[in-house]
């Protein structure tokens, strides 16, 4: 449960982000900041969050603009006095913008849009929110939207590149955020589902694959190292059909693998 937590969900004006924002409210969050460039969708999600029992507020923001990201985090701090769970969910794909997605047809404009929203904004947002997360006494967590496209190749070059980047950025930020380990309390979970999508999150989406090739001795070593041990557990739970989002007792920077019909390594 997310009792008394403050969440911020990017791209929550519709889709998976909306589902996560509402689910956070259902799980007892005190407040949820609904960040989106789409005011109508964002306000509708904020209303749904309020219906679900939390203080939902729409925070307008174009994630391509660093100054707007800084201002959005500031607005959340002023409204709620802190931040505990950051969900970097917003994402776009080039096929939404053009029929010419091949790498040698893609324009710089479209490359930059997908890269900035999917990857650079994850870094900018987490950087802006890090002081609030670091001072949170309530299991601070960061969840990043990955994709199978970050693991296997699809005919969407910049989407694949950006999601592969999200996975690596997630791992790197997890190392930098490890210092909160001693401050963090009990295990907490949130769940989100939407239509046929079956998104589930682990700290490292490719961990299940990695795990299959690891010896018991290597696994034991990994379990002893900050975030990795929790990632193994999250991966195991996810594979057994468990919850899609895990906010673990350790400092969490989590990537999401959304398996909406797609599989990796035969897993779903």
Ligand X SMILES: NC(=O)c1ccc[n+]([C@@H]2O[C@H](COP(=O)([O-])OP(=O)(O)OC[C@H]3O[C@@H](n4cnc5c(N)ncnc54)[C@H](O)[C@@H]3O)[C@@H](O)[C@H]2O)c1
For ligand X, which is the closer residue by CB, 15 or 242? 15
Please tell me which residue in 45, 52, 150, 159 is annotated as part of the active site: 159
- To ligand X, the closest distance from the beta carbon of 13 in angstroms equals 3
90 lines the binding site for ligand X (CB under 6 A): yes
147 binds ligand X (CB under 6 A): yes
**CA 89/CA 111 separation, integer angstroms:** 19
* Pairing of β 31-36 and β 55-60: parallel
Residue 159 falls in the annotated catalytic set = yes
The CB-of-11 to ligand X minimum distance in angstroms stands at 3
Residue 62 or 178: the one with the smaller Cβ distance to ligand X is 62
CB burial of residue 170 (10 Å; 0-12, 13-18, 19+)? buried
Q: Which stretch binds ligand X (CB under 6 A): 11-19, 98-106, 168-176, 208-216?
A: 11-19
Q: Least distance in Å: CB of 71 to ligand X?
A: 13
The single residue among 28, 53, 55, 64 that binds ligand X, judged by CB under 6 A, is 64
Q: Is the CB of 225 or the CB of 268 nearer to ligand X?
A: 268
Asked if residue 145 binds ligand X (CB under 6 A), the reply is: yes
Q: Does 110 bind ligand X (CB under 6 A)?
A: no
Is residue 49 involved in binding ligand X (CB under 6 A)? no
Task: Let me know: does 154 contact 111? Beta carbons within 8 Å.
Answer: no
What's the chain look like in SS3? CCCCCEEEEECCCCHHHHHHHHHHHHCCCCEEEEEECCHHHHHHHHHHHHHCCCEEEEEECCCCCHHHHHHHHHHHHHHHCCCCEEEECCCCCHHHCCCCCCCCCCCHHHHHHHHHHHHHHHHHHHHHHHHHHHCCCCCCEEEEECCHHHCCCCCCHHHHHHHHHHHHHHHHHHHHCHHHHHHCCCCEEECCCECCECEEEECCCCHHHHHHCCCHHHHHHHHCCHHHHHHHHHHHHHHCCCCCEEECCCCEEEEEEECCCCCECCEC
Which residue's CB atom is positioned nearest to ligand X? 91
Q: Is 21 in the site for ligand X (CB under 6 A)?
A: no
Among 117, 125, 133, 173, binds ligand X (CB under 6 A): 117
91 lies in the site for ligand X, by CB under 6 A: yes
Q: Residue 37 interacts with ligand X (CB under 6 A)? A: yes
Tell the smallest beta-carbon distance from residue 266 to ligand X (Å): 18
Among 6, 8, 16, 114, binds ligand X (CB under 6 A): 16
Should residue 46 be labelled a site residue for ligand X when binding is judged by CB under 6 A? no
Q: Provide the annotated active-site residues.
A: 159
Query: By the criterion CB under 6 A, which residues form the site for ligand X?
Result: 11, 13-17, 36-38, 41, 61-64, 89-92, 117, 145, 147, 197, 258, 260
């Amino acid at each position: 449960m997310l009792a008394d937590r403050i969440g911020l969900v990017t791209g929550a004006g519709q889709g998976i982000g909306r589902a996560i924002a509402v689910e956070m409210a259902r799980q007892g969050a005190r407040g949820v900041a609904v960040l989106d460039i789409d005011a109508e969708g964002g306000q509708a999600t904020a209303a749904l969050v309020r219906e679900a029992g939390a203080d939902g507020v729409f925070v307008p923001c174009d994630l391509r603009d660093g100054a707007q990201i800084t201002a959005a985090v500031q607005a959340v701090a002023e409204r709620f006095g802190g931040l505990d769970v950051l969900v970097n969910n917003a994402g776009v794909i080039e096929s939404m913008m053009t029929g010419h997605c091949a790498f040698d047809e893609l324009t710089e404009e479209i490359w930059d849009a997908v890269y900035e929203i999917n990857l650079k904004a994850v870094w900018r947002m987490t950087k802006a929110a890090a002081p609030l997360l670091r001072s949170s006494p309530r299991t601070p967590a960061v969840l990043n939207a990955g994709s199978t496209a970050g693991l296997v190749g699809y005919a969407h070059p910049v989407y694949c590149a950006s999601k592969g980047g999200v996975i690596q950025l997630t791992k790197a930020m997890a190392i930098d955020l490890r210092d909160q380990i001693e401050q963090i309390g009990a295990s907490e979970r949130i769940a989100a589902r939407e239509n046929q999508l079956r998104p589930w999150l682990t700290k490292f989406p490719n961990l299940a694959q990695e795990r299959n090739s690891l010896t018991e001795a290597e696994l034991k070593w990994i379990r002893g190292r900050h975030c990795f041990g929790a990632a193994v557990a999250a991966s195991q739970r996810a594979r057994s059909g468990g919850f899609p989002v895990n906010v673990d007792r350790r400092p969490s920077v989590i990537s999401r693998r959304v398996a909406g019909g797609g599989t990796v390594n035969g897993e779903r």
